[in-house]
Amino acid sequence: MGMFAGKKGLILGVANDRSIAWAIAQEIMNGGGECGFTHLPDRPDDDKQKNRRRVEKAIDGNPAAKFLVPLDVQDDEQIRSVIAAAVERFGKLDFLLHSVAYADRDDLLRDTIETSRAGFKLAMDISVYSLIAVCNAAKEAFAPNAAVLCMTYFGGEKIVPGYNVMGICKAALEAATRYLAYDLGPKGVRVNALSAGPLKTLAGSAAGVGEMLQMYEHVAPLGRNINHEEVGRTGAFLLSGMSDGITAETLHIDGGYNAMGSPGRLSKLIPAGS
């Protein structure tokens, strides 16, 4: 019997089979859990339905993947519809994974101080408010001792040049996590955030993950980067009963990078006098 035997829930934000959300979902399904998935809506004129097909390719043939529906997190009616579909299929939700974030590429490429007003509102709405909106829509659908998990990054705590406006969004997301944990606590529902180091994903590519991978390898105490499987196991842990005393936390899985106060071993690679 796996630790998710008999458990059912929602996975929001899988983009393809390299997504962090997919790594976590795999661990859940391998542990006996059943998952409903959402995908970013395709444009009406996109006959190829690229967003849906990427997720279909990941879940294809897995009997624990019970449904796949589009979700625009800026549309409250769609959010309610997805929760209703999950309740109809599962009854109650034992877990909910929120792995949704977006910022306009033009805003990501410019200095934070030059972020457009419209771009700021868009990034905060999709990357932060969506967690609040989804939890509010699902608050009566959660089973006792259910768990919610969202994905964040160290750029929400410290300055990471290039992460820019998304760093502000992640800081707000982590604050939202704590307040939602308080609101949902009386229902027995836990809310946590997982702060993963850089990985090669679609989102990571947009954030210039290549340079960060090299730096983490030299600076992190473990002297290496993390991988999808490690993040998958840690995310699944936070959504399982194994972590039933943990809420309102941001857990780092980054090889210890976040604990460093100096470049560490990286300084040995810098020529003397440079």
Whether 219 and 265 have beta carbons less than 8 Å apart is answered as yes
CA angle 62, 34, 7 (to 5 degrees): 155
Structure tokens belonging to residue 266? 């990286």
Active site residues: 153, 163
- The beta strands (E) that lie in the chain are given as 8-12, 34-39, 65-70, 93-98, 142-152, 190-196, 250-253
- Cβ atoms of 96 and 12 closer than 8 Å: yes
What amino acid is encoded at 140 in this protein? E
Place of tokens 């990571």: 204
- Find out whether 42 and 247 touch, Cβ atoms under 8 Å: no
